[in-house]
């Protein structure tokens, strides 16, 4: 099924108005990655449509046992995926089904009805990149209990507003969280230590692309670090400045960890998202 967008709208609302299909089915097609806009797979309900764009719905793919994002590694004990921006890792009170956990669980259960899935660690909803999930409770516990010892590299790529003064630095902060889930820097004896290392790898007159290495894994620590430097991450609606971008330009692109099943370290990598490259070219 194919249609051409006639007016500006959000994807799911446009589909509701223009396609004769139950709303539940429409959501399933989106969740399973069966909808394409200008030949690019889209899973975000609020994806911004403009007149002239083409929407294609692959009505044969909803029941295929495939994930709508890349699998970086899979064996009998873990599955490592490249989570898209805009997708929750686990359920909340407001959202139960459109989560990484739910989608991956459906995938593994389709191959084995007795299969289970466990979240080992999380990424923010708006951050894309590498997430490790376990297929059994023993592996989940082993990885979670030794995460800081097992993980030797946590690398991110981000695009931030403006020119970063120091091209390379190590940021040490102490973070605290408000009752409204906003993280902010505080005094040393009042918060949890957060250490963020970065290096500028590309810049233009509007933006800087930075490579980030974490020594700690505090909630929102990268976003708060760059907000504190007056170089907020592009597309950050929580800690940033107003811009027209529809995604957060923060991506977990490399993770190296010791995997006890094979008794050695393994490196997972993903390419830099195309949007990051485009915005850096656009700013020149």
Are 171 and 198 in contact by the 8 Å Cβ rule? The answer is yes
Are 172 and 193 in contact by the 8 Å Cβ rule? The answer is yes
Alpha-carbon span 30 to 42, nearest angstrom? 7
Alpha-carbon span 194 to 181, nearest angstrom? 17
Block residue for tokens 């929580």: 238
Any residues with CB less than 8 A from the CB of 38 and at least 6 apart, and which?
53, 54
> Measuring CA to CA, how many Å separate 7 from each of 10, 35, 41, 107, 247?
10, 18, 20, 35, 21
Q: Does the model's pTM come out above 0.85?
A: no
pLDDT in tens, the chain (284 residues): 888 999 999 999 999 999 888 887 888 788 777 888 998 888 888 889 999 999 998 876 555 567 888 999 999 999 999 999 999 998 776 766 689 999 999 889 888 889 999 999 999 999 999 999 999 999 999 999 999 999 999 999 999 999 999 999 999 999 999 999 899 999 988 899 999 999 999 999 999 999 999 999 999 999 999 999 999 999 999 998 888 898 999 999 999 999 999 999 999 999 999 999 999 997 55
Block residue for tokens 């989560």: 99
How much is the pLDDT for 87?
92
Full 3-state SS string of the chain: CEEECCCCEEHHHHHHHHCCCCHHHHHHHHHCCCEEECCEECCCCCCEECCCCEEEECCCCCCCCCCCCCEEEECCCEEEEEECCCCECCCCCCCCCCEHHHHHHHHHHHHCCCCCCEECCCCCCCCEEEEEEECCHHHHHHHHHCHHHHEEEEEEEEEEECCCCCCEEEEEEEEEECCCCCEEECCHHHCEEEEEEEEEEEECCCEEEEEEEECCCCCCHHHHHHHHCCCCECCCCCCCCCCCCCCCCEEEEEEEEEECCCCEEEEEECCCCHHHHHHHHHCC
Are 24 and 32 in contact by the 8 Å Cβ rule? The answer is no
Structural domains for the chain: 2-57 (3.10.290.10), 65-145 (3.30.2350.10), 150-284 (3.30.2350.10)
């Amino acid at each position: 099924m194919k249609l051409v967008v006639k007016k500006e709208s959000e994807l799911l609302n446009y589909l509701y108005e223009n396609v004769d299909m139950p709303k539940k089915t429409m959501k399933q097609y989106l969740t399973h990655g069966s909808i394409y806009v200008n030949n690019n797979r889209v899973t975000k309900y609020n994806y911004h449509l403009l007149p002239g764009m083409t929407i294609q719905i692959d009505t044969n793919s909803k029941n295929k046992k495939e994930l709508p994002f890349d699998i970086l590694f899979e064996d009998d004990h873990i599955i490592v995926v490249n989570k898209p921006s805009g997708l929750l890792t686990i359920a909340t009170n407001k959202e139960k089904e459109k989560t990484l956990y739910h989608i991956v669980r459906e995938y593994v259960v389709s191959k084995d009805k007795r299969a289970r899935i466990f979240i080992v660690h999380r990424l923010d909803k708006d951050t894309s990149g590498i997430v490790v999930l376990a297929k059994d409770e023993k592996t989940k516990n082993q990885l979670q209990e030794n995460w800081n010892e097992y993980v030797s590299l946590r690398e991110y790529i981000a695009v931030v507003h403006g020119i970063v003064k120091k091209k390379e630095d190590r940021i040490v902060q102490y973070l605290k969280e408000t009752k409204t889930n906003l993280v902010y820097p505080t005094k040393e004896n009042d918060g949890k230590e957060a250490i963020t290392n970065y290096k500028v790898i590309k810049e233009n007159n509007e933006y800087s692309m930075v490579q980030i290495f974490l020594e700690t894994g505090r909630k929102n620590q990268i976003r708060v670090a760059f907000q504190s430097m007056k170089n907020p991450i592009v597309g950050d609606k929580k800690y940033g400045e107003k811009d027209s971008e529809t995604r957060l330009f923060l991506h977990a692109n490399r993770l190296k960890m010791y995997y006890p099943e094979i008794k050695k370290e393994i490196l997972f990598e993903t390419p830099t998202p195309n949007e990051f490259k485009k915005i850096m070219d656009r700013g020149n």
